[in-house]
Amino acid sequence: MIKILVLLGVCLIIFAGCAQNSDHVITIKTSYGDMVAILYDETPKHKENFIKLAEEHFFDSTLFHRVIEGFMIQGGDPDSKKAKPGDPLGRGGPGYTVDAEFNPKFFHEKGALSAARLGDAQNPTKASSGSQFYIVQGTKMTEEELKTDLMKLNQGMQQFFQNPDNRPAYDSMSALYNSGNIKGYQEYMMALKPRVEKATGISAAKTVAPEILQAYTTVGGAPSLDGAYTVFGKVISGLDVVDKIARVPKGPGDRPLEDIRMTITVEKMPKNKIKELYGFTYPGQ
């Protein structure tokens, strides 16, 4: 009996090791190509829920119903399966939410797989939609932009523009914004920052981790979403598909004029094979 118990213990250790050395690979298939993603163990509620829905074919035939170039592509609304052209979308779900699982390790770099949710007024706990998700496209940012606390800069600018002598700067910023030149508007705002800080005494500086600086200045992303929405995975292959979908023509509500449907499959795969196929390396490997 002792020998049998010992052998059973050895088998359990072996199986546990196998479980730790494999992961679920998510493939999102579209007419524009496939996106392959992994989901984070550190967000277990989101990971378990997404895998469950995918294995139940919940996502199949749903649309990427909201697309904003330079920002993100969003899908997972079951109401989109039978939606007619022009129907408003974005309210559907499986009938439940998922508790927020914020983790500072994960941020909105390009390819981040994150949970959509209702706004703070309706949803003070920032609970995630049970099924709707988005994939970040984002844009590249400068180190200066990333190291700027926009709330404090905005506070400083409100004081700065109360001085009539600074009216020309206000008019220049307004003209850029109203013309739709958002990049020019942002560049002007950054150029104005030293004057605002000197005039008001309000520092808009903030500290940013080196890995976050590296990602947002090289790959790009949407840092304004950090800490407000749960990032629970990452696209490790098919970022070009995100770009293609983000560029499609859109109608009201940022809904693509063309129906872009998805099918999501799940496959359990050894981590060393994931690295071999997709070049993704797990921490500690």
For 264, the 3-state DSSP assignment is strand
> Is the pLDDT at 183 greater than 90, yes or no?
no
Give residue 154's pLDDT. Answer: 93
By CB atoms closer than 10 A (0-12, 13-18, 19+), residue 190 is middle
CA distance 164 to 235: 49
At 4-54, the pLDDT tens digits run: 444 444 444 444 444 579 999 999 999 999 999 999 999 999 999 999 999
Residue 29 in tokens: 């298939």
| Reported pTM | 0.87
Query: What torsion, rounded to 10 degrees, do the Cα atoms 234, 238, 244, 246 define?
Result: 0
Residue-range domains of the chain with CATH: 23-140+208-278 (2.40.100.10), 148-200 (no CATH)
